[in-house]
């Protein structure tokens, strides 16, 4: 009973860190979130996404292909809570709490150690990295949940051998596959690890069975998705390990060799696509497996960043190093798997360069990191067990003080600083913009609004709670992500930061939305200024002076 109580306490802590003030922290509502929200609403009402596609597995946005699982799951929460910021975020937050529980189960199955599993799940419950992503509708965190679930089923199958677990493994892989593109290589990496581990321990029958399951998964859904073009569309945009990307990087070395009349054959020997791609991959990979990313600087995209906050706590550093040493000194299959999980978790992220190092694409490192850290803490506790009681109490007090300070500081940075620190990264202005335009558009013939470096139409659809049938008609065949386009009868989105400027005379009956940095225009008057939480002007609405 006490064991269940301790686990319940961990889950309550995880819930508090992920659910309290969920509608307002993090501040703003970025494009990824609003895309999930409105497409989920559209699926709920019409079974189609914003592009009018019936029950798609991917949706197209900004010329990229995004898996739809988060949107299908969010449709259920919108059905319960209506269309709101909370409804969109609560799915990811709830799955984040589920990840904490699954981590407890997985570690207990791997190590047969209740205390170890409890402390690993407890560390994940308060992990800044995990909390940040699970409060932000991040596909990567959702993918991690289903990856953990597949690992639980896999370990259960290895230990019990029941065929039903094979179906559950496959189903969890499919869910992971359609949760997040970056999770797809992780599925195969983990499967290969266990195939090798089973074969190495003499269990060739299970190794063969798992190989067959992986081959089936490689065909359906992997091959069919890749063949359709949707499976690789995003990677073709941001991937750096391609022949085309290597050719671009090799252009300068080839040019420099050519200027010195260096023999072409020798140039190809020293500057080739294979060598260049390997060097690029290692350059990216080492951005993730280092202390600066994990414990000091953090990563990107900037919209996820909590100011002056590392992804993991400083007090974890010595424990992580001790844990790594302990597992390498006395290797076991479960311990090697923890190290593998940590090291392999960064491999998909290293295949890309956009927003690098990327904390969402590399979140799959986290379970391995937490296991290693807690094993290190346990090893240290065992090492000082025979020391004087005074020393043990001093060390325990020091750890509790530092740990409490770091956790408190993370909460402080999240609640106080994140909402007002560089708020323009999270599009905090759009709820106010939509509300104002909706209120006054009846008074104007036309409303011309700057895109503000993004695509505002989803915010108008979401916060205006536009019926998806109408919304699809407003978007399909009209959306222009690179230029100006009309959104409905009155609103027009402009690619210009300042749709109204000294070279564009104001028209009567037209309301203009300029970004805050735009210079004043003569013969105009300001009707409303939209302010960010830091009191900077996000958008200034102006019209011709009557």
Q: Quote the mean pLDDT of the chain.
A: 94
Please check whether residues 416 and 434 belong to one and the same domain. no
The pLDDT score that the predictor gives to residue 387 is 76
**In terms of pLDDT, which residue wins out, 504 or 168?**
168
Contact predicate 15/95, CB 8 Å: no
How far, in Å, are 104, 118, 145, 195, 450 from residue 166 at the CA level?
21, 27, 18, 14, 52
pLDDT band for position 1 (cuts 50, 70, 90):
low
Same domain as 376, residue 260: yes
DSSP letter at 476 equals T
Among 421, 453, 481, the domain-final residue is: 421
On whether residue 75 sits in a domain, the answer given is no
Provide the number of structural domains found in the chain.
2
Q: Is the same domain home to 405 and 496?
A: no
Polymer length in residues for the chain: 546
Q: Cα torsion at 305, 308, 313, 317 (round to 10°)?
A: 110
pLDDT digits (tens, 9 = 90+) for 373-387: 999 999 999 988 877
User: Of the ranges 1-5, 100-104, 209-213, 229-233, which one carries the lowest mean pLDDT score?
Assistant: 229-233
In a domain, 392, yes or no: yes
Give the three-class secondary structure for 110: helix
**Which of 391, 421, 451 is the endpoint of a domain?**
421
Is 339 in the same domain as 413?
Answer: yes
Residue 187 lies in a domain: no
**Checking DSSP bridges between strand 491-494 and strand 446-450, what pairing results, if any?**
parallel
- Residue 93 in domain: no
- Mean pLDDT on 91-112: 98
Lowest mean pLDDT among 391-395, 468-472, 482-486: 391-395
406 and 499 share one domain: no
Residue 352 lies in a domain: yes
pLDDT at 218 > cutoff 90: yes
Q: Does a structural domain hold residue 82?
A: no
Residue 317 has pLDDT above 90, yes or no: yes
Looking at residue 233, its pLDDT comes to 65
Residue 510 counted as domain residue: yes
> Which pLDDT score is estimated for 232?
67
Closest CA to 374 of 134, 102, 107: 107
Largest CA-CA distance found in the chain, in angstroms, rounded: 87
Q: Is the pLDDT of residue 365 over 70?
A: yes
pLDDT at 410: 98
Whether 433 and 480 share a structural domain: yes
The 10s digit of each residue's pLDDT in 338-359 is 999 999 999 999 999 889 999 9
Per DSSP, the residues of 312-349 read: S-TTHHHHHHHHHHHHHHS--HHHHHHHHHHHHTTTTG
Task: Identify whether residues 403 and 296 lie together within a single domain.
Answer: yes
Is the same domain home to 413 and 458?
no
- Mean pLDDT of all residues in 404-415: 98
pLDDT digits (tens, 9 = 90+) for 6-29: 999 999 999 999 999 999 999 999
Per the CB < 8 A criterion, the answer to whether 490 and 424 are in contact is no
Residue 482: predicted pLDDT: 83
Q: Which residues of 132-143 are buried (b: 16+ CB within 10 A; e: fewer)?
A: bbbbbbbbbbbb
Q: Are 487 and 536 in contact (CB under 8 A)?
A: no
- Residue ending a domain, choose from 403, 421, 439: 421
Regarding whether 445 and 398 lie in a shared domain, the answer is: no
Give the integer Cα–Cα distance in Å for 185 and 187: 5
- Shared domain for 320 and 261, answered yes or no, is yes
Whether 387 and 502 map to the same domain: the answer is: no
Name the more confident of 526 and 241: 526
Is the pLDDT at 437 greater than 90? The verdict is yes
Claim to verify: residue 444 and residue 383 sit in the same structural domain: no
Q: What predicted TM-score, i.e. pTM, was given to this entire model?
A: 0.95
| Residue range(s) defining the domain that contains residue 263 | 243-421
Does residue 2 lie in a domain region?
A: no
Confidence at 231, pLDDT banded by 50, 70, 90: low
């Amino acid at each position: 009973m006490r064991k269940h109580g301790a686990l319940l306490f961990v889950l309550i802590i995880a819930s508090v860190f992920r659910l309290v003030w969920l509608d307002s922290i993090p501040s703003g509502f970025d494009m990824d979130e609003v895309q999930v929200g409105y497409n989920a609403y559209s699926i709920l009402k019409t079974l189609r996404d914003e592009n009018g596609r019936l029950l798609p597995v991917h949706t197209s946005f900004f010329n990229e292909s995004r898996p739809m699982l988060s949107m299908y799951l969010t449709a259920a929460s919108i059905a319960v809570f209506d269309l709101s910021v909370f409804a969109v975020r609560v799915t990811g937050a709830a799955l984040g709490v589920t990840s904490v529980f699954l981590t407890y189960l997985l570690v207990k199955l791997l190590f047969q150690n209740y205390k170890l599993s409890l402390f690993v799940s407890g560390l994940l419950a308060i992990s800044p990295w995990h909390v940040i992503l699970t409060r932000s509708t991040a596909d990567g965190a959702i993918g991690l949940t289903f990856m953990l679930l597949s690992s639980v089923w896999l370990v259960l199958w290895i230990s019990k051998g029941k065929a039903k677990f094979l179906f559950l493994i496959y189903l969890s892989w499919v869910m992971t596959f359609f949760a997040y593109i970056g999770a797809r290589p992780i599925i195969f990496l983990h499967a290969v690890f266990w195939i090798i581990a089973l074969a190495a321990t003499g269990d060739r029958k299970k190794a063969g069975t798992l190989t067959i399951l992986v081959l089936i998964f490689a065909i359906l859904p992997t091959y069919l998705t890749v063949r359709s073009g949707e499976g690789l569309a995003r990677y073709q945009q941001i991937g750096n390990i391609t022949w085309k990307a290597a050719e671009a990087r090799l252009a300068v070395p080839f040019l420099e060799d050519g200027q010195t009349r260096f023999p072409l054959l020798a140039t190809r020997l020293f500057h080739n696509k294979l060598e260049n791609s390997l060097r690029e991959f290692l350059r990216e990979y080492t951005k993730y497996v280092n202390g600066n990313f994990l414990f000091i600087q953090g990563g990107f995209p900037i919209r996820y960043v909590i100011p002056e906050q590392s992804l993991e706590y400083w007090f974890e550093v010595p424990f992580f190093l001790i844990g790594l040493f302990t597992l390498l000194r006395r290797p076991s299959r479960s311990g090697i798997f923890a190290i593998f999980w940590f090291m392999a978790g960064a491999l998909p992220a290293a295949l890309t360069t956009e927003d690098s190092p990327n904390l969402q694409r590399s979140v799959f490192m986290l379970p391995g990191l937490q296991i290693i850290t807690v094993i290190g803490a346990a090893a240290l506790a065992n090492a000082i067990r025979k020391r004087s009681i005074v020393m043990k109490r001093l060390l325990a007090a020091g750890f509790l003080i530092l740990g409490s300070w770091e956790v408190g500081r993370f909460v402080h940075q999240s609640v106080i600083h994140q909402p007002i620190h560089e708020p323009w990264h999270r599009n905090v202005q759009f709820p106010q913009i939509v509300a104002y335009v909706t209120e006054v558009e009846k008074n104007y013939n036309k409303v011309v609004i700057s895109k503000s470096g993004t695509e505002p139409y989803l915010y108008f659809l979401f916060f205006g709670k536009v019926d998806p049938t109408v919304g699809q008609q407003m978007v399909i065949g009209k959306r222009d992500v690179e230029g100006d386009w009309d959104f409905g009868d009155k609103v027009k989105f402009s690619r210009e930061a300042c749709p109204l400027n000294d070279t564009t005379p104001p028209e009567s009956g037209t309301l203009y939305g300029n970004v805050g940095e735009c210079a004043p225009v003569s013969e105009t008057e300001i009707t409303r200024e939209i302010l960010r939480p830091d009191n900077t002007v996000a958008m200034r609405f102006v019209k011709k002076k009557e």
